[in-house]
């Protein structure tokens, strides 16, 4: 009888401890996807996908700036390890911290005592959603692995509806270019609608359609580049 009472007491204590932990646990802040703030003609778009973050500011006819890097969220604080900044390369390798608050479909970000509200565009859920890097390219009829050296890289971030590519070198703090906008992926056709392009504002408004497919976790991407050149590329997800 004493043993049963002891066991019952232990079970009750375990149950109360579990309830206490759950009651005091902080819900995980879900930032995945795309968010946007607009001031007149100027848009600021944030992408959070697979632990990578980008912020881009642009108007309908002018690219302003972009920066980004890996990120973590601790309680109500966003920490960004900056890998590129098109307007200030001294920020590269630094860690920036901002206070955040998510209420429904609104994200508030407070940085340097300034609070900006963003509205959710998508939740980062789509077949192509992820952070991608090119692994192979077709040359003379053969897929040839991309040989990498140093710290230069080109990445493409896709959320549920938006894309952004950027060519950067965190090691040398160089920024080579970026572009982005919205995309669709339907029936094997991948279409980009360009909203900003750092190298050439005249590209804004262009619509590019490619053949696309997912094979063994790789994204096969083929068609004509913005310059009209034939391309066949294979992209893999950044782990």
CATH code at 158? 2.40.128.490
**Which domain covers residue 143, as residue numbers?**
130-237
Q: Could you tell me what percent of the chain has a pLDDT over 70?
A: 88
Paired with 226 in beta bridges are none
Q: Are 116 and 134 part of one and the same domain?
A: no
Question: Per the structure block, which two tokens stand in for 24?
Answer: 């005091």
**Which residues of the chain have a pLDDT value below 50?**
1-3, 5-6, 9-27
Q: Are 88 and 181 part of one and the same domain?
A: no
Report if residue 227 sits inside a domain.
Answer: yes
Torsion of CA 218, 238, 167, 180, to 10 degrees: 70
Q: How far is CA 184 from CA 76, 83, 128, 129, 162, in A?
A: 32, 27, 10, 11, 8
Q: What is the pLDDT of residue 4?
A: 53
Burial class (CB in 10 A: 0-12, 13-18, 19+), 126: middle
Report if residue 100 sits inside a domain.
Answer: yes
Report if residue 20 sits inside a domain.
Answer: no
53, 34 contact by CB (below 8 A): no
**What is this structure's pTM?**
0.86
Q: What is the pLDDT of residue 47?
A: 98
172: left (phi over 0), alpha (psi -120 to 50) or beta: alpha
Q: Are 81 and 165 part of one and the same domain?
A: no
Report if residue 60 sits inside a domain.
Answer: yes
Q: Could you tell me what percent of the chain has a pLDDT over 90?
A: 80
Q: What is the pLDDT of residue 12?
A: 44
Q: Are 150 and 216 part of one and the same domain?
A: yes
The number of beta carbons lying within 10 Å of the beta carbon of residue 195 is 23
Q: Are 141 and 228 part of one and the same domain?
A: yes
The number of domains in the chain is 2
Q: What is the pLDDT of residue 227?
A: 77
Report if residue 9 sits inside a domain.
Answer: no
pLDDT tens digits, 69-98: 999 999 899 999 999 999 999 999 999 999
Separation CA 199–CA 180 (nearest Å): 12
Q: What is the pLDDT of residue 237?
A: 96
């Amino acid at each position: 009888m004493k043993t049963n009472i002891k066991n019952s007491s232990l079970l009750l204590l375990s149950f109360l401890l579990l309830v206490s932990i759950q009651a005091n646990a902080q819900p995980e802040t879900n930032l995945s996807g795309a968010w946007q703030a607009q001031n007149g003609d100027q848009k600021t778009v944030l992408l959070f996908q697979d632990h990578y973050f980008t912020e881009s500011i642009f108007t309908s006819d002018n690219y302003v700036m972009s920066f980004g890097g890996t990120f973590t969220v601790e309680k109500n604080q966003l920490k960004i390890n900056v890998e590129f900044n098109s307007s200030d390369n001294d920020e590269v390798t630094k860690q920036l911290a901002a206070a955040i608050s998510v209420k429904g479909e609104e994200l508030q970000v407070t940085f340097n005592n300034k609070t900006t509200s963003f509205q959710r565009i998508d939740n980062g859920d789509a077949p192509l959603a992820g952070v991608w890097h090119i692994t192979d390219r077709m040359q003379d009829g053969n897929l040839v692995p991309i040989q990498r050296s140093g710290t230069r890289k080109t990445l493409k971030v896709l959320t549920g509806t938006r894309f952004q590519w950027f060519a950067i070198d965190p090691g040398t703090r160089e920024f080579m270019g970026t572009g982005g906008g919205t995309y669709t992926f339907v029936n094997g056709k991948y279409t980009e609608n360009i909203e900003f392009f750092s190298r050439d504002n005249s590209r804004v408004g262009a619509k590019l359609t490619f053949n696309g497919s997912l094979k063994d976790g790789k994204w096969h991407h083929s068609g004509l580049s913005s310059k009209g050149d034939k391309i066949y590329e294979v992209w893999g997800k950044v782990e």
